[in-house]
Amino acid sequence: MTSDPTADDRTRCPWVGDDPDYLRYHDEEWGRPLHGDRPLFEKMALEGFQAGLSWITILRKRPRFREVFAGFDPAAVAGFGEDDIARLMADPGIIRNRAKIEATIGNARIVRDLAEGELDALMWSFAPAKRRPRPRTIAEIPAVTPESDAMSKALRKKGFRFVGPTTMYALMQSAGMVDDHVEGCWRAA
C-alpha cells in the first residue's frame, strides 16, 4: 500500500507542487529505470499524447488509457482498426486526437514486428554513458539533448511517430535514462 506522500516534509523537485497524483508519480515512478518493450511502448504512447498538454492531464487519464489500449500490449494495439479508432475518438476518458491515436496504433505495429527486447535495447542505447552534473534548479534541466535528438531520429527512421526530441527527452527522464532530480530533492541519488 502506498503511503500518503502529502503527509511528509520531504523536499522534492519544484515541478511537483502539492498535487497528490504528481507527488506519487515523482516519488514512485519518475526517474526510476524502466525496462521492457511493453512498458516503454506505453511511455512512448503516453508521452506522445502529452505533446502540447500538461503531464498531469495524462497522468489522471492513464488508467483509462490503459483500459482502452489493451494495457498497451503492442500485439493487441497493432490489431486495432477503424472501428477501434472510432471507439477511441468517442471516449472522453482519453485525449481524443485522431493523429495521436493513429500514431499509437502504427507505433504498436512497429513494436510488434521488432524482436523481443529490441525496443528496450534501442531506447536504452541512447542513455548517456556519463551522468551530467545534477541540476541545481529546474531552469538547468534541458528540454532536448543530443541523445534525445538521436533517439528521435532513430525511432523516426524505423517509422515511429510522435517521437520528437522533446517528447523523447521527457521519456528519458521518466524512464530513468537520465536523472534530472534537482539538488536537494530527496530522490536525488
Give the model confidence (pLDDT) of 47-86 as tens digits: 999 998 999 999 999 999 999 999 999 999 999 999 999 9
Is 123:151 a contact under the CB 8 Å cutoff? yes
| Confidence check: pLDDT of 151 > 70 | yes
Of 6-10, 33-37, 117-121, the least confident: 6-10
- Rounded CA gap, 29 and 164, in Å? 22
**Whole-model pTM over 0.85:** yes
Residue-wise pLDDT tens digits, 78-111: 999 999 999 999 999 999 999 999 999 999 999 9
Chain centroid, CA 77 distance in Å = 17
- Rounded CA gap, 41 and 142, in Å? 23
- Rounded CA gap, 24 and 6, in Å? 9
Q: Which helix (H) or strand (E) holds 121?
A: helix 118-124
Among this protein's residues, is 47 annotated catalytic?
A: yes
| Confidence check: pLDDT of 171 > 70 | yes
Question: Which three cell numbers, joined as nine digits, stand for 52?
Answer: 502540447
Among this protein's residues, is 25 annotated catalytic?
A: yes
Report the pLDDT value the prediction gives residue 8, as an integer from 0 to 100: 81
Question: Which residue out of 25, 42, 147, 169 is catalytically annotated?
Answer: 25
Question: Which residue out of 22, 42, 47, 169 is catalytically annotated?
Answer: 47
Report the pLDDT value the prediction gives residue 9, as an integer from 0 to 100: 85
Q: Band of the pLDDT at 3, cuts 50, 70, 90?
A: very low
Report the pLDDT value the prediction gives residue 84, as an integer from 0 to 100: 98
For the chain, percent of residues with pLDDT exceeding 70: 96
| Confidence check: pLDDT of 156 > 80 | yes
Averaged pLDDT of the chain: 94
Q: Band of the pLDDT at 131, cuts 50, 70, 90?
A: confident
Question: Which three cell numbers, joined as nine digits, stand for 136?
Answer: 541545481
| Confidence check: pLDDT of 189 > 80 | no
